Amino acid sequence: MPPKTKKPTAKEKPTATKKTTRRSKPIKKWSMYPSLDDEVSNLLREDNLVFTFHPNDEENTCLNGYDTNVMGRFACRNKNCTAVWTSKQIAITIRRYPNERYNARVYHQSCKRCLMTFKPQLDHESYAERVAYRIKKWCGVKMEAPPFKGRSDGPHRSDLCEGCKQGRCSKM
Ligand SMILES: [Zn+2]
Ligand SMILES: [Zn+2]
């Protein structure tokens, strides 16, 4: 048999092997709440402090960082579950950056029924008080003990708390 001349297959465009982008995006483990900046700023203004919300979540450039917790409520968005729960132990990390900037990262929690993870609806007051208190403290403002003292709502479930999983929860 005459040898078949094999045609070079190099005509194919190299783009044929385009990388497929990852389908599932990573589950978010925390959120920031820039919309609550007004309430934080109002409290800071009482002590003549003016800070702006820093939109970038940067661990390396911050001057100070502090892990604490705030109150809020969760509503499971899993249609087959729809559990709701409140928490007085939502982990947050408050950070101060150069040039009077700050931000706060709020850690998500998992539903104890279906284990899906969700971001909280924060109690605005407890968030603003906690964040403002910390910034004032960093700025040397003399204050009484924190105005917000959340009573315990049962043992903290580290297995459901993203703050604990990140090593950032003050309840750990
Ligand atoms: Zn659920
Ligand atoms: Zn925790």
For 62-95, write each residue's pLDDT tens digit: 999 999 999 999 999 999 999 999 999 999 999 9
What phi, psi does 48 have (nearest 5°)? Answer: 55, 35
Residue 144's pLDDT is: 83
Q: What is the pLDDT of residues 91-124, one digit of tens each?
A: 999 999 999 999 999 999 999 999 999 999 999 9
Domain region containing 47 = 27-165
- What is the length of the chain? 172
Per the structure, how many domains does the chain have?
1
Q: Which amino acid is at 14?
A: P
Residue 16's pLDDT is: 46
What phi, psi does 145 have (nearest 5°)? Answer: -55, 160
Q: Does residue 104 lie in a domain region? A: yes
Q: Does residue 88 lie in a domain region? A: yes
What distance in angstroms lies between residue 77's CA and the mean position of ligand 1's atoms? 7
Q: Does residue 19 lie in a domain region? A: no
Residues with CB under 5 A from ligand 1 (ion): 76, 78, 81, 83, 111, 113-114
What distance in angstroms lies between residue 78's CA and the mean position of ligand 1's atoms? 6
Q: Does residue 16 lie in a domain region? A: no
Q: Does residue 15 lie in a domain region? A: no
- Residue 98 or 59, more confident: 98
This prediction's pTM: 0.81
Q: Does residue 75 lie in a domain region? A: yes
Q: Does residue 89 lie in a domain region? A: yes
**Which ligand lies nearest the alpha carbon of 160?**
2
Q: Does residue 20 lie in a domain region? A: no
Please give the Cα distance from 168 to 171 (Å, whole number): 9
Pick from 10-14, 40-44, 139-143, 146-150: least confident: 10-14
Residue 76's pLDDT is: 97
Residue 146's pLDDT is: 67
- Residue 158 or 19, more confident: 158
pLDDT category of residue 48 using cuts at 50, 70 and 90: very high
What distance in angstroms lies between residue 89's CA and the mean position of ligand 2's atoms? 7
- First-to-last alpha carbon distance for the chain, in angstroms, is 77
